[in-house]
Structure 1
Amino acid sequence: MIVVTGATGNVGRALVSQLAADQLPVRALTRDPARAQLPDGVEVVRFAGPDEPAALAAQFEGATALFLHLAAGGDGAPALLAAARDGGVKHVVVLSSIIVDYDDATEHPLHVAHSRLERQVRESGLGWTALRPGAFSTNSLQWAPQVRAGDTVRWPFVGAVSSPIHEADVAAVAAVALRDPAGHTGAVHSLTGPANVTALDQIHAVGRAVGRELRVEEIAPEEVPASMFAHVPPEMLPALLRSLGESVSSDPELTTTVRDVTGRPARTFAEWAGDHVADYRA
C-alpha cells in the first residue's frame, strides 16, 4: 500500500492517477474526502494530524511507502513520520524544492521550509528519496483569471526565465521511486522542464493553446496586488518578486532527471498548456 499525502494537489492528484492506472494499491490522504474526485479503486481517507493519534496511526496501517507533501509536514512531520514507521512504511518520497540545491538561498523562506522537511525525513529512520522540482508549470495558472476576463495579461518581470516542469513529470519520477525504493534510496532528484522560457513565452504559449492572441502589459513590482499571487503567503511575496527580478535574462541550469529516471523526456511548457486549456476558459 502506497500512502499519498496532498492527494488532491497538483502533483498528488497526478501521482494517485498514475499509481491507480498501474493497478497499485493507493491510500489517498486529503482534508476533504467528499470532494476528492479521485480514480475508482483509490482508498480515500481524511488526513489526520498529530492531534488525532488514533486516526494518524490508522492512516498507515498496512502501508509500505509514503509520498510526503510539505503541507502535511511542518511541526507535525516528526509525529507523522513516526506513525508511518510504526504502521510499516519503509520508504518516503518527499516533495521538496530545487531551491535547496542553492547554498546562497538559505535565508529564503522556501529554502528554510523545504530543507527543514528534508532533514526531518532523513532523521526519521526511514529510507528516503528527495524530489527537488524547480518552477512548476502550474504556477502559470496565476494568469487564468486575466485570460478568462480578456486578452490582456498584466505581469511583472515578463523577461523572468524559468524551466517550468509539468506536474505529471514530477509525479512520474515519484512513482518510479515509490515502486523501486531500493534503486532510489538516499537519492536527491533535482527536476526541471526541458527548456528555459520567459514568462512572456509562457503567456503566448497559453494564448496559442486556447486559440487567442494574448497581449502582455509589464507592470512594476510595486504595482503587484497580493491577489495576483493568491497562492503565495503574503510574507513570502517580497522574496518571490525579488527572485523573479533576479531571473530576468538568466540561464538556469537544466536537468535530465525526468528522462534519466522515467525513460521519457520531460514535457514542454506548450504540452502543459495544451493539457490545461480548460483551466483558462470561462
Structure 2
Amino acid sequence: MILVTGATGTVGREVLRRLPPGPAVRVMARNPDRVEGAPATAETVPGDYDDPQSLGRALSGVHTVLLVTNRVAGDQDARFLEAARTTGVQHVVKLSAAAVADPLADDLITRWQRGNEDLLRASGMGWTLLRPRSFMSNTLSWSVSVRAEQVVRSLYGSSANSCVDPRDIADVAVRVLTGPGHHHGRAYTLTGPQAVSAAQQTAQLGELLGRPLRFEELEPERARALWSERHPAPVVEALLSSALRQRDGAKAGVEGTVAELTGRPARSFRDWAATRLSAFMPL
C-alpha cells in the first residue's frame, strides 16, 4: 500500500491525480474533507504529525510513503519516521529541496531540510529524496498586484532560477512511488528546462494575458517587511538569504532529471502560466 501525505498541498494533490489504477492507496490529511482528486478506490484517513496514534493508524499496512512536511525547524519528520519504522514501512519518498546539495546554503530552511534528510537516511528504511528547485506556482503570490495594478514586485528581478512545475515533481514522485526498487538510495534534483528571472516571467505572463505588465524591483528591507506579514522572523531571514544566493547565480543550474525519469521534457514557465491565467485576470 502507498500512503500519500501532504495531499492537500501543491505537490500532493497533483500526485493523487496521477496515481495509476492498481496500487492500493491511502491518503492522510489533517482534514480529510479537503482532499480532492484521489483515486476512487483510495482510502482517506485523518492524521496529524503531532498525534502519534493517528500516525500509527495511517501507516498500518503501508509499504511506501510520500512524505511532505512544512513546519520549518519542527520535528514532524522525526515523529513520522519513528511511526513509519515501527509499523514496518519499507520505502519513504521524501520531498526535500535543491538547496540541500549546495554547500554554501546555510539558512534555517536548508539546515532543517538537511537534518530531515539525515534522519531518513539513518532510519533503516529505504529512501528516495526529491529535491525540487523553487515551484513555478510560487508566482501565484503576484496575483493580487497583477490583477489590481498590472505590476509584479520582487527582489533581484534579473537573477535566474530554474524553477520547476509542480506537475513535473508529481510525475516524478508517482514513478518513484510505483516503480521498481532502483530508485532506493537516490537523490533527484528537479528543475525546469531553463532558468528564468522574475522580470522574464513578468514579460511572459503579460504576453499570455495580452496586456503589458510592469516589473518593479523590491529593496531588501521592503521585502523583509512584506514577508514579515506572513512568516516568523527566522523564516524571513532564511528567505532573504536564499534570494541572495539566487542573485549570485546559485539557482540557475538546469538538470535533466525530469526528462530522464518521465521520458518527456520538463515543462517551461510559459507552459505552467498558460494553465493558470485565471488567477492573474482582473476580477
Same fold (TM over 0.5): yes
AA in 2 matched with 1:182: G
Change (3 A) 1:129 1:181: farther
Runs of 4+ deviating beyond 6 Å: none
Q: SS state of the match for residue 92, structure 1?
A: strand
AA in 1 matched with 2:133: G
* Alignment-derived partner of residue 217 in structure 1: 216
* Alignment-derived partner of residue 48 in structure 1: 48
Contact between 2:172 and 2:258, CA under 8 Å: does it hold in 1?
Answer: yes
How far apart are the structure 1 equivalents of 2:240 and 2:50?
35
AA in 1 matched with 2:44: V
Contact between 2:132 and 2:190, CA under 8 Å: does it hold in 1?
Answer: yes
Change (3 A) 1:239 1:222: same
How far apart are the structure 2 equivalents of 1:72 and 1:57?
20
Larger mean CA deviation between 208-217 and 269-278 belongs to: 208-217
How far apart are the structure 2 equivalents of 1:264 and 1:233?
39
* Alignment-derived partner of residue 258 in structure 2: 258
Contact between 1:57 and 1:83, CA under 8 Å: does it hold in 2?
Answer: yes
Unaligned runs of 5+ in 2: none
Contact between 1:16 and 1:26, CA under 8 Å: does it hold in 2?
Answer: no
* Alignment-derived partner of residue 117 in structure 1: 116
* Alignment-derived partner of residue 6 in structure 1: 6
AA in 2 matched with 1:114: Q
Contact between 1:163 and 1:194, CA under 8 Å: does it hold in 2?
Answer: yes
Change (3 A) 1:83 1:239: closer
Larger mean CA deviation between 118-127 and 240-249 belongs to: 240-249
* Alignment-derived partner of residue 269 in structure 1: 269
How far apart are the structure 2 equivalents of 1:181 and 1:72?
31
How far apart are the structure 1 equivalents of 2:109 and 2:217?
26
Change (3 A) 1:196 1:61: same
* Alignment-derived partner of residue 28 in structure 1: 27
TM-score (norm 1): 0.90
Contact between 2:52 and 2:83, CA under 8 Å: does it hold in 1?
Answer: no
* Alignment-derived partner of residue 135 in structure 2: 136
AA in 1 matched with 2:262: T
Deviations 1:156-211 (A, max 9, x none): 21112100100011111111111125110100101111101111011122222333
Contact between 2:107 and 2:242, CA under 8 Å: does it hold in 1?
Answer: no
AA in 2 matched with 1:75: D
Contact between 1:99 and 1:110, CA under 8 Å: does it hold in 2?
Answer: no
How far apart are the structure 1 equivalents of 2:220 and 2:35?
36
How far apart are the structure 2 equivalents of 1:25 and 1:148?
42
Q: SS state of the match for residue 59, structure 2?
A: coil
Change (3 A) 1:230 1:3: farther
Unaligned runs of 5+ in 1: none
TM-score (norm 2): 0.90
Q: SS state of the match for residue 209, structure 1?
A: helix
Contact between 2:143 and 2:280, CA under 8 Å: does it hold in 1?
Answer: yes
Larger mean CA deviation between 74-83 and 199-208 belongs to: 74-83
Contact between 1:133 and 1:192, CA under 8 Å: does it hold in 2?
Answer: yes
- The total of aligned residue pairs comes to 279
AA in 1 matched with 2:211: R
Percent identical across equivalent pairs? 35
Q: CA deviation at 1:234?
A: 3.3
CA RMSD of aligned residues (A): 2.2
Contact between 1:158 and 1:198, CA under 8 Å: does it hold in 2?
Answer: yes
* Alignment-derived partner of residue 164 in structure 1: 163
Q: CA deviation at 1:240?
A: 2.1
Q: CA deviation at 1:247?
A: 2.7
How far apart are the structure 1 equivalents of 2:248 and 2:173?
31
Q: CA deviation at 1:275?
A: 1.7
How far apart are the structure 2 equivalents of 1:222 and 1:22?
50
Change (3 A) 1:149 1:191: same
How far apart are the structure 2 equivalents of 1:175 and 1:202?
28
How far apart are the structure 2 equivalents of 1:203 and 1:2?
39
Contact between 1:132 and 1:188, CA under 8 Å: does it hold in 2?
Answer: yes
How far apart are the structure 2 equivalents of 1:71 and 1:279?
24
AA in 2 matched with 1:7: A
AA in 1 matched with 2:119: Q
How far apart are the structure 2 equivalents of 1:261 and 1:233?
37
